[in-house]
Structure formats: C-alpha cells, structure tokens
Amino acid sequence: MDTIRVALAEDNVLLREGVSRLVASNEDFELVGTASDLPELLALVGTAHPDVVITDIRMPPTGTNEGIQAAGWLRENHPEVGVVVLSQYTAPGYAMALLEHGSAGRAYLLKERVASVDELARAIRAVAGGGSVIDPMVVDELVRSRSRHQQSSLAQLTPRETEILAEMAQGKSNAAIAAALTVSERAVEKHTNSIFAKLGLSEEKDLNRRVKAVLLYLSEAQES
C-alpha cells in the first residue's frame, strides 16, 4: 500500500501538534505540511499535493465554517483529495453541509474522538479510498430528532430503494442514478419520493432530505 500524504489545517497550536504526532506515528502516513488558516491550507494543497486534508471546521480568517469551505474548494479543484473535517459540534447541519455535493472522500469526526489513533487512521484511509465516515454521535443527534418508528425506517426500504439510496450517497443526481441503474428518471423520482416518505423526510427541502437520507444510510453502513 502506498504512503498516504496528509496535510493538516488547525489554528490551535496544541491540537495541531497533537494531530501531527498522531499522523506521523503511523508508518502508512506522511505529514506533508500544516496550516493555521484557510488561505495557508489552500496554498499548501497546491505545493504539497496531499492525498488527504485534515481540517478544523472553524479557523481564521472568519472562524465560521472554513473547513466546509475548504472541502467545497477541494471538490471543485482537486476532487481526488480526501477530506477529514474535525469538529466539536454534533449538530448535523455541519455534516449536511459537508455532504452537500456527495459523500465520497469525506469524513466528519468529533475532536473528542481524535485522541484515538485508530479512529483518525480509519477516517484517513477511508477518504483516501473515496469512502466516507460520519461520527456516530452526529448521526445519533439526527436520529434523536425523529420518532422511534423513524429510527428503524431504513429497514423498510425495498432492495431497489436501498440501491438508489446508495447511489444518492455518491452525490449522484436522479438522472445520473437512472443512467447507472438503467431505469427511467421518472422511476428514480418515484423511488426517491418513496424513500423520503419512509424516512419521514417528505416535508423537508429537497437538498436537506437528500443529505439527511444519505447520513442515515452512511450510519447504517458503518454499523453493519
């Protein structure tokens, strides 16, 4: 297995040092550089060519959602680079923003978990291979806002609906899903509406319900 080149963006010096050591301690990873704000990170990607970027969700210059911005920029300019977002927030909204354009190569971990070398290493390897990891506590927060009936709603999906949801988790549009599964776009639309109904997402805006459905799907995939 080739060494995975990792770049780190974190403005907290102690946490940056801690994560750097975690990464450097794994012989499968090579730390190619660190940054303390968004502009530094974007410049670092251009010079160091990492396979994976680990980034804090909030850092200078605005301290709002720079990690999400970085993930979006990388999706547009360097789609081959995986992203692990570190956050202290369990609010699903951040994870939803991260997955807005697909879950491939994206991970969302809570900082309290990063003390575990195994958790971080698993996320790095997953996104480097185009996979996804969403912290179970974030998914729990999403599920908690739903009824007990809805918690088991994934089990109600038909095999075809599950297949379509898996395609949706890759960020595909209905048209792209139809092409991949060799069915009509209208059939995909019918199935997605059924998926949203079974997951209790019919009243949500289209983007929100697609991303929430994907979050639930990913949580199930992690547990199985």
What is the model's pLDDT at position 129? 92
Confidence of residue 45 (pLDDT cuts 50, 70, 90): very high
Ranges of each domain in the chain: 4-141, 147-223
Mean confidence (pLDDT) of the chain: 86
Per-residue pLDDT, averaged over 133-140, amounts to: 83
What is the model's pLDDT at position 169? 81
Closest by CA to 7, choosing from 43, 36, 35, is: 35
What is the model's pLDDT at position 138? 82
Sheet holding 132-134, edge to edge: 29-35, 4-9, 52-56, 82-87, 106-110, 132-134
Closest by CA to 106, choosing from 79, 77, 137, is: 79
Confidence of residue 149 (pLDDT cuts 50, 70, 90): very low
Query: In CATH, what number does 4-141 get?
Result: 3.40.50.2300
Separation between Cα atoms, residue 77 and residue 43, nearest integer Å: 12
Higher-scoring residue by pLDDT: 139, 124: 124
154-185 per-position pLDDT tens digit = 888 899 999 999 888 877 889 999 999 999 99
Token pair belonging to 212? 């929430």
What is the model's pLDDT at position 222? 56
Closest by CA to 49, choosing from 76, 70, 26, 80, is: 80
Neighbour tally for 198: CB within 10 Å: 18
97-116 per-position pLDDT tens digit = 888 878 889 999 988 877 66
Confidence of residue 145 (pLDDT cuts 50, 70, 90): low
Confidence of residue 148 (pLDDT cuts 50, 70, 90): very low
Give the three-state DSSP class for 217: helix
What is the model's pLDDT at position 139? 77
What is the model's pLDDT at position 66? 93
Residue 118 has pLDDT above 50, yes or no: yes
Under CATH, to which class is 147-223 assigned? Answer: mainly alpha
Give the three-state DSSP class for 83: strand
